[in-house]
Amino acid sequence: MSNNSHMKGKKDALNAWLENIQASGRYTFTRADLEREGPVVERTSVWRAQRDGRLIQPRTGFFVIVPIEYRAVGAPPVAWFIDNLMRFEEKPYYVGLLSAASLHGASPQAVQEFQVMVPEQRRPVRAGRLRIHFLVRSDHERAATELRQTPTGSMRIATPEQTALDLVRYPAASGGWDNIASVIRDLTPLIKATELEKLARAQEDVRPIQRLGYLFDAIAHAEEPARALASSLVKRAHRYVALEPKASTKNAKRNERWHLVVNRAIEAD
């Protein structure tokens, strides 16, 4: 057999193996899976498949199959493989912030990165044109999450109530206060006041509660969730805090209900 024929045979073997994986509804595999195939699939074939855009390797030893309809963007949607990736890394996670808001139908802007909450620092991942950004939440185990079905299985995402609290807790990663206000306004119809109050009571830091409560009043005009947050603050010490911590508070108005120094104007889209 000529060298070219040999190479073609190995390539065909890899393609057949990848097609079998896709036929089972999966788009990922690991190096351990590859090694179990033994001589059927050579590493050189895998390297060529990566070079040709057929595969990507977001983390060492973890591979994602790129269907032909996604070759132009370099990867299938992150939702198709994030759960398998985090299982591979043996790390708890949930999809949060603007990515969760978008999944709930409440993000007014196209999200340029996929945001994942984790209990400890993780390096970002590049998947085609999209970046997976990991944000640390130290009290990760307290988060309220739900399973969302995907074309390849499921993934864990923040509930609408958790998403709202996280957005005000991580304003820089959430596109700033104007964007947060727009998302909160769109999330409000999905928020259950009883669930929101339960989450707020379990949260040690009351500052996000104060800021979110103000947004419910000033932007969303949503009295029921605002009342739930106000109830969670009863008998809990909370001093005046600035809406925008890094901005000046000179001559800023004070909101008595939320003990908030309103030191910036908010304009929801």
Q: Are 128 and 66 in contact (CB under 8 A)?
A: yes
Q: How far apart are CA 180 and CA 101, in angstroms?
A: 10
Q: What is the mean pLDDT of the chain?
A: 90
**pLDDT for the residue 33:** 87
Query: Of 30-34, 43-47, 164-168, 213-217, which gets the smallest average pLDDT?
Result: 43-47
Residue 67 contacts by C-beta under 8 Å, 6 or more apart in sequence?
22, 27, 76
Q: How far apart are CA 231 and CA 211, in angstroms?
A: 15
Q: What is the pLDDT of residues 182-231, one digit of tens each?
A: 999 999 999 999 999 999 999 999 999 999 999 999 987 889 999 999 99
Q: What is the pLDDT of residues 62-106, one digit of tens each?
A: 999 999 999 999 999 999 999 999 999 999 999 999 999 999 999
**Which residue type is seen at 185?**
R
Q: What is the pLDDT of residues 8-23, one digit of tens each?
A: 545 577 888 888 888 8
**pLDDT for the residue 40:** 60
Residue 25 contacts by C-beta under 8 Å, 6 or more apart in sequence?
152, 153
Q: Does residue 111 register a pLDDT over 90?
A: no
**pLDDT for the residue 82:** 97
Q: How far apart are CA 112 and CA 119, in angstroms?
A: 22
Q: How far apart are CA 39 and CA 147, in angstroms?
A: 38
- The residues that bridge with 127 in the sheet, in sequence order, are 130
Q: Are 187 and 163 in contact (CB under 8 A)?
A: yes
How far lies 95's CA from each of 1, 118, 237, 246, 262, in Å? Answer: 50, 9, 31, 27, 30
Higher per-residue pLDDT: 30 or 9 = 30
| pLDDT > 70 fraction of the chain, expressed in percent and rounded | 92
Q: What is the pLDDT of residues 217-252, one digit of tens each?
A: 998 788 999 999 999 999 898 899 999 988 999 999
**pLDDT for the residue 109:** 63
Q: How far apart are CA 243 and CA 260, in angstroms?
A: 6
pLDDT-based confidence at 7, cuts 50/70/90? very low
Which letter does DSSP use for residue 79 in this model?
G
pLDDT-based confidence at 1, cuts 50/70/90? very low
Q: What is the pTM of this model?
A: 0.89
Q: How far apart are CA 20 and CA 167, in angstroms?
A: 41
Q: How far apart are CA 160 and CA 239, in angstroms?
A: 27
* Cα of 177 vs its chain's centroid, Å: 19
**pLDDT for the residue 69:** 94
Q: Does residue 59 register a pLDDT over 60?
A: yes
Q: How far apart are CA 30 and CA 34, in angstroms?
A: 6
In terms of Cβ atoms closer than 10 Å to its own Cβ (0-12, 13-18, 19+), residue 48 is: middle
**pLDDT for the residue 13:** 77
Q: Give the pLDDT mean for 25-32.
A: 91
**Smallest Cα–Cα separation from 220: which of 186, 265, 258?**
186
